[in-house]
Amino acid sequence: MNTRSYLTIGLVGPDRTGAIAAVTQHLFRIGANIESLEEQVARGKFRMTLLASWPSQNLHEPAIRRGLEQVARNLRMRLTLRIAEGGRARRKLALLVSRETHVLDAILREWKRGGLRADPVLVAGNHPQLGGIARRYGLPFRAINYRDRVRAESALQEHLEKSGAELIVLARFMKILSPDFVWHWKNRILNIHPSLLPAFPGASAYRQAYDKGVKIVGVTAHFVTPDLDQGPILCQDALRLRADEPLDSIIARGQKLESACLLRALKLCLSRQLDIHWGRVHGV
């Protein structure tokens, strides 16, 4: 059976004429088929993500990487590359965390019992507290100092590339990722938000819902985009509040829902049975 290998290219830098042509013409010369391309120019910044494929027997990764790195240097842009074998059933996950344990625990338990068609290869967090959980499962943990976001994201990107991660799961990671970082991982970052988006975006969603006196609260698993809590929605779930239920009870019940909903979204992504068009997720 002839299989294909896929290369995801992220390119970010100052806007300049001919950037798209420089990349696509180079890919044409080395025999790639361009599967998809998205680009954006905003305030003088150029961002592009491109998916290309080759028959697996024609993939010469070192030569491809060297050629594209030269194109990026000529354009003075930041390049990221991720190569995946189309016939490989299991994907590589990176899990980003802060202090809350419930989502990370749920994903790792599901992985250990064989319920995921993927393998975590990295746990990274902006606090060291969850390192013990990662090590208990035999996974590397990388602490990222977020006092300077540019340096933090550069370090995080380096860890992601070294690990070979193909998909990022924000397991209650409480830092906002920059537009540049997100573009390098377009439609490859999953998040769980503790509300039924678009209601109550941003921080303290349970508190917002409690203060408004809503009778139903929920959670939303979505892809991350540069617009906070506005990404394409993968799945949602909800629970009905009890009369005079205190906030700590709402949060505890909501956290169980967060874990279950994000796991469903992750399995949907791993099944590859979805398409994203005009900001909406469609099953295929």
Angle in degrees, CA 178, 254, 201, rounded to 5: 35
DSSP state of 247: H
Helices within 113-246 (DSSP H only): 131-136, 149-163, 179-184, 205-212
CA–CA distance, 200 with 248 (Å, rounded to integer): 18
DSSP state of 59: -
Return the SS3 of 282. Answer: strand
CA–CA distance, 231 with 47 (Å, rounded to integer): 17
Out of 211, 229, 237, 248, which one is annotated catalytic? 229
Q: Which of these, 56, 126, 120, 75, lies nearest to 94 by C-alpha position?
A: 120
Catalytic annotation on 119?
no
CA–CA distance, 196 with 237 (Å, rounded to integer): 8
CA–CA distance, 242 with 106 (Å, rounded to integer): 25
H/E segment holding residue 65: helix 61-75
Q: Which of these, 187, 8, 142, 164, lies nearest to 90 by C-alpha position?
A: 164
The catalytic residue positions are: 229
